[in-house]
Structure 1
């Protein structure tokens, strides 16, 4: 596999397609360029996916995210493009992309886009209050 930025999202077969399960991924160092000023924009991208037949391979996801580093893009456009590319690669039951953009001009911007596969009905949520899905897993005791 390449170590250069790439727009190709590689996949692998879902190991448990009979079950709805939630894959939560965070990209804390996403960067692209402001299309008006050329200045860097920084974001934390959060992906929440309930896969169907395919899952995204993590190294390809990292290289995909890296591919935006030198591209100009408005926050809303890049967030929607990430969703569209995940839909094309995975056709998941559910996907949500949350882009939490760091301050620019005194304004924080959050862009949230999501897609539900036609005909898919989510099961009732089970609250596991001891886990904060917005935080990475803690290691150790």
Structure 2
């Protein structure tokens, strides 16, 4: 969670110095950490165990991380960031930089809620060799 809390200030500095690749790398690093957290917490098992409070906490941290990362990435990938913010039901008037500076677990402000339904942000890319294996 510390990495998420530090991310906006770090990326603001990178954007100010036109180091866009460093901002992107920093967001990717935080997303890798979030993925690791998700994998270790195993929310699918928490659901089976009826550990609703713990499940809610895991999903809250993940969705808040995605919200902050999406806002930070808007200058670089505006369409994809908008799609994700829409899926997270972040109001359009809560998507500016000031809305990512402090995670909602600190200030209790806007946080994300995932819309029901399937959502694919990136399609899996298959090489010809892999595509042949899948279709066989």
* Higher helix proportion (structure 1 or 2): 2
TM-score, normalization by structure 1: 0.29
Between structures 1 and 2, the one with greater strand share: 1
